[in-house]
Amino acid sequence: MKKRHLKWVFALLLTGTLTTLTFGQDRQLANQYYRDGEFEKASVLYEQLYKESNYNDFYFDRYIESLMAMDDYDASEKAIKKHLRRDPENVQTYVTYGKLLERQVRSEEAEDMYKTAIEKLPKNQIQVTRLANAFMTLTKYDLAIAAYERGAEMLKNRDVFAYDLGELYRRKGDIPKMIENYLVSIEADPNRITRVKSILQRYLNAEDYLEVQKQLYAKIQEDADNPLYPELLSWVFIQRKDYNGALRQMRALDRRYNENGGRVFALADIAANDGDYAAAIKAYEYIVDEKGPQSPYYLDAKRQSLRSKRKQLVSGYDYTMEELRELEKEYEEFLTEFGRSKVTARIILELAELEALYINDLDKAIELLNQMIAYPNVNPNVQARGKLSLADYNLMQGEVWEATLLYSQVDKAFKEDLLGHEARFRNARLSYYAGDFQWAQAQFDILKSSTSKLIANDALDLSVFIMDNLGLDTTETALKLYADADLLVFQNRFGEAFAKMDSLKTSFPNHSLGDDVLYLKAQIQKKKRNYEEAAALLQEIVDNHPDEIRADNALYQLASLYENQLEQPSKAQELYETLFIDYSNSTLAVEARKRYRILRGDDIQ
């Protein structure tokens, strides 16, 4: 008796296993037929699977899809009605029915089915989401929105579908409603803020950010104690590059929560990196003045404030000696407060640059750098940069041997680093100044492959320049005169440089260096801040030497002068366009196109 019972159990298990295997094989085969477009075969198997699976929705949908693909609308409608009688609460079936009716151009009946689906929605979050997704699959965004909004109303929870509604309104292009729902979704779940910011950055333009700003102001009035709104508002100001507006919000948050200035410092860095030095200085000085030495950002805020003041001053093109002296005084006060050591080495490097290149006190700059380089445990990179600057300033004083010694030290210590490439470039340039053109050109040719775009471009320019002019005069006299003038410009000995170039022009009136002489004279006038004179010289190159190697550089610099110093943006835009069209192979073409688009008003990310 026991054996017979075991046989019966085994038979049942075997039958179940075989049934499962057969079902799985039929499912794979049906899916394969469906993918291959053999809908007649697929429909037969899906109908069978639908019945065997206790009327599973997936197999039903595939069965109807297969029938509709064969234009068998009668069988489709019959099956849908039968499915509805079996499960009248399955609202997605009404969407399937509507889709079938649309295929038959029975639009009004289809709309009725879609409305019925929404009307019959159960008070169930999962069912609401499924119905909305069914409408989204058909790209019926208004109906998907209606489904979510009815679901939120029934569940008495406006937050539950807010993120999904934001996404739907985005797809529809309804920016105000999109923003409204995304803000509601953040209220419900603040962890979404990063995701929502990313979406807004991707899809909003400058005008749209004003809408975000308006809605956030309304939110702040409704709930002034919620820190989420001013934080997001400050982010909106940053997107609009309104750093003063962002600073107001950041200061308010910092004071309300008695913070240490961290968020204000982060904003200051963003503003400084974007060139809004005035806003950056305000932010840094807030930390210095209101947070004081106890703030962990105090030292860095003072340091960055100084740097921003220097950049603001020297990029303004119209600074006075009084302003330079005032900045020099602030640097000295900083060093008095924090001492002269490895900690303040970068500040000393900046002060030396201010003394050498703007105040024209080379002796003081050299003294500062000699002291800084000798500090114990100074950062090797800062020390190396100090040596490069010291070499430059020695060269400006005519100390060629001292300059090449320092360049070589940095080259040796940072052979595979960009600092080493920079040192090698400056040493090669020194050889060019000295008239050793062939050795200099060989070094420039090597540096053309530098990973630094700036070094590579400068090396390429000088290599092509030497190659273009070397050998045209068997004595190399003309090129040597030009290199002498170039060195005099580097040393800020402008009168002697002009005399040297005039001598070159007199001795070699038809030499190919004519455009180069004009270009170098333009650089002198720019250094002297005689921008009209510089523009005239560059225009002469553009007009009379359009095929020479200086032409693209002259065109770019001329456009830059009109954009920044001469305040003629339309003229600048025209010149940038000429550059990227007529000199499309120039290394400056990409940047020229970018500047052109900015001046045209394009939204550049």
* 446-488 pLDDT per residue, tens: 998 877 888 988 898 899 888 888 755 556 888 999 999 999 9
Contacts of 390 (CB under 8 A, 6+ apart): 366, 369, 370, 373, 406
Position 12 pLDDT exceeds 70: no
Beta bridge partners of 470: 473
Res 453: pLDDT: 83
**What is the token pair recorded at 299?**
């030292």
Res 10: pLDDT: 44
Residues above pLDDT 70, as percent of the chain: 94
How remote is the C-alpha of 226 from its chain's centroid?
Answer: 30
CA angle 557, 559, 561 (to 5 degrees): 70
Res 66: pLDDT: 82
Is 307 within 8 Å of 350 (Cβ atoms)? Answer: yes
Average of per-residue pLDDT across 552-565: 93
Is 162 within 8 Å of 181 (Cβ atoms)? Answer: yes
d(C-alpha 259, C-alpha 212), whole Å: 26
Residues above pLDDT 90, as percent of the chain: 62
Q: Which of 5-19, 123-137, 175-189 has the lowest mean pLDDT?
A: 5-19
Q: Which of 52-66, 431-445, 497-511 has the lowest mean pLDDT?
A: 52-66
d(C-alpha 179, C-alpha 512), whole Å: 62
pLDDT tens digits for range 110-153: 899 899 999 999 999 999 999 999 999 999 999 999 999 999 99
Place of tokens 């794979």: 28
Amino acid of residue 194: T
Position 11 pLDDT exceeds 50: no
pLDDT category, 316, cuts 50, 70, 90? low
d(C-alpha 229, C-alpha 244), whole Å: 17
Position 501 pLDDT exceeds 60: yes
Average of per-residue pLDDT across 68-96: 83
Q: How many of the other CB atoms lie within 10 Å of CB of 36? A: 10
Q: How many of the other CB atoms lie within 10 Å of CB of 453? A: 9
DSSP code per residue over 399-441 = -HHHHHHHHHHHHHHTTTSHHHHHHHHHHHHHHHHTT-HHHHH
| pTM: predicted TM-score of the whole model, two decimal places | 0.75
Res 22: pLDDT: 59
**What is the token pair recorded at 464?**
């092509």
pLDDT tens digits for range 320-369: 899 999 999 999 999 999 999 999 999 999 999 999 988 989 999 999 99
Is 410 within 8 Å of 423 (Cβ atoms)? Answer: yes
d(C-alpha 171, C-alpha 72), whole Å: 33
Is 48 within 8 Å of 26 (Cβ atoms)? Answer: yes
Res 52: pLDDT: 78
pLDDT category, 16, cuts 50, 70, 90? very low
d(C-alpha 303, C-alpha 281), whole Å: 11
pLDDT category, 492, cuts 50, 70, 90? confident
pLDDT category, 596, cuts 50, 70, 90? very high
Res 461: pLDDT: 86
Average pLDDT over the chain, rounded to an integer: 88
**What is the token pair recorded at 584?**
């499309």
pLDDT category, 603, cuts 50, 70, 90? low
More confident residue, 48 or 243: 243
Contacts of 495 (CB under 8 A, 6+ apart): none
Half-sphere exposure of 176 (CA within 13 A, CB side): 3
d(C-alpha 109, C-alpha 140), whole Å: 16
pLDDT tens digits for range 388-418: 999 999 999 999 999 999 999 999 999 889 9
**What is the token pair recorded at 270?**
């963003």
Instruction: For the chain, list the domains and their CATH numbers.
Output: 468-600 (1.25.40.10)
Position 570 pLDDT exceeds 90: yes
d(C-alpha 346, C-alpha 311), whole Å: 15
Half-sphere exposure of 405 (CA within 13 A, CB side): 6
Position 55 pLDDT exceeds 80: no
User: Among 102, 97, 53, 58, which Cα is nearest to 79's?
Assistant: 97
Position 172 pLDDT exceeds 50: yes
More confident residue, 314 or 331: 331
Place of tokens 């094989």: 25
